Structure 1
Amino acid sequence: MPSERTNDAPSPGGLRERLVDTGVALVDTEGAAALSLREIARRAGVSHGAPRRYFPTHLELLSAIARRGFTDLGERATRALADASPDPREQVAVLSRLYLDFAARHRGMYELMFRHDLLESGELGLRDSSLPLFKVLVELVAEIRTDAEPAVVAGALWANLHGVAQLWGWGSLQLAVGVEDVEPLLTSVLDAHLGPA
């Protein structure tokens, strides 16, 4: 049986990255509630105290995992926009679909990414991870809605998408609206904030 020292030895990419990788896999399969330091350490094959060398608090480890989610979402957005029509409204639609799809497919990560305590923790800088994609949305809205403050419209659009993502994930919208596909809701959200297509 390997010693604890051997298990905690740096791996390719380092123990810090292995802990974050393990947390990302765990949140995707079991949700944010499963992300205890002890469980991440167990699944990473290290002692339960090992994560504290890199993450003195549980909040810091959760923030590192959530930051990975923002990076993933940002990379997906970059690829999707590169393949999209140059029309700003179509690009907003592509980003919106991507956002809703990410929320549906990566429910645990999505919920972790927008936890208030993680976003508000200034020293961890997670809020900075959430802003680049919003900035892209603001720039696109500015091209579409020249009659309004783009950041305000983009904020309202994002809030609406976030609500759709949450309520869809809970099954509430399907029940209330009687639809099986989120597309009609997305069309309505885009029309409400950007004007009819």
Structure 2
Amino acid sequence: MAEETSPLRERLIDVGVELVLAEGSGSVGLREIARRAGVSHGAPRRYFPTHQALLSAIARRGFEDLAARFEAAVAEPVSARGQLEAVSRFYIGYALERRGMFELMFRHDLLDSGSPAPGRPRLRESTLPLFRYAAELVARCRRERDAARGAGGPGETEPPPSVTGAALWSNLHGLAQLWAWGSLPLALGVQGLGDASGEDQRDQLIAAVLDAHLGPVSS
């Protein structure tokens, strides 16, 4: 377990995070990490025997950062719907601010999501809690809605919260990617990243996504 808290290991991950944010995950290699960290080419192999292991450690940093932002987003005691809206805004904001990391974090075809070496945490232990949290917010939204309507429970045709949460996540992820790629700003007539209307347009899109999956907010 001492390896997990090694200063050199953390330094190598720091360098990897900087590379991903500046140049994307395709720029990250063990030799380049070693060069930028000022260590021998073989040093990273002590902690990261494979390229997957290195990328996974970098991605875990991203999930830790995103989880901290989610906690900040829901710090205020508001409704579940309000919390889900705040989390959605933070998710989109993270995608636009840290594009390289965002694109890496969900590429589980590139990452080591299974069983790593003994004593090392699995990447799924950083990723799945965020999804379960989103599904729980969906469930809370439904309970609050049903309580407001005086209903006894969810409608017969409603899918499980996990399915709705997955669909909601897919929509938000697509929104983030299409905005980052410039497709949605073009379609909506946003002139550039500095256009003041851009944030308002994103908020409207988030509201539309939530309405589509949770129903509109009752007046």
User: How does the TM-score come out when normalised to structure 2?
Assistant: 0.79
| 1:26 counterpart (5, 19, 30) | 19
Distance 1:107 1:176, change over 3 A: same
Secondary structure, in 3 states, of the residue corresponding to 1:56? coil
- In structure 1, what is the equivalent of residue 132 of structure 2? 135
Identity %: 60
**SS of alignment partner, residue 55 of structure 2:** helix
Deviation at 1:178, TM superposition (A): 2.5
Q: Report what 1:4 is aligned to.
A: none
Structure 1 residue 47: Cα displacement: 1.3
Return the match for 2:57 from 61, 64, 67: 64
Query: Aligned ranges for residues 73-92 of structure 1 at < 5 Å?
Result: 73-82=66-75, 84-92=76-84
Gaps in structure 1 of 5+ consecutive residues: 1-9
Offset at residue 177 of structure 1 (A): 3.0
Q: Residue 184 of structure 1 corresponds to which residue in structure 2?
A: 204
CA RMSD of superposed structures (Å): 1.8
**Alpha-carbon distance between aligned partners in 1 of 2:206 and 2:112, rounded to the nearest angstrom:** 29
Distance 2:140 2:11 in 1: 42
| Counterpart amino acid of residue 168 in structure 1 | W
Query: How far 1:86 sits from its partner (Å)?
Result: 2.3
Question: Which residue of structure 1 lines up, in the alignment, with residue 177 of structure 2?
Answer: 166
> 1:120 Cα deviation (Å)?
6.1
Counterpart CA distance in 2 for 1:120 and 1:57 is 9
Return the structure number with greater helix share. Answer: 1
The CA distance in 2 between the partners of 1:119 and 1:192, in whole Å, is 32
What residue ranges of structure 2 are gaps of 5+ in the alignment?
Answer: 117-121, 143-153, 191-197
* Counterparts of 1:163 and 1:118, CA distance in 2: 19
Distance 1:119 1:62, change over 3 A: closer
The match for 1:6 is: none
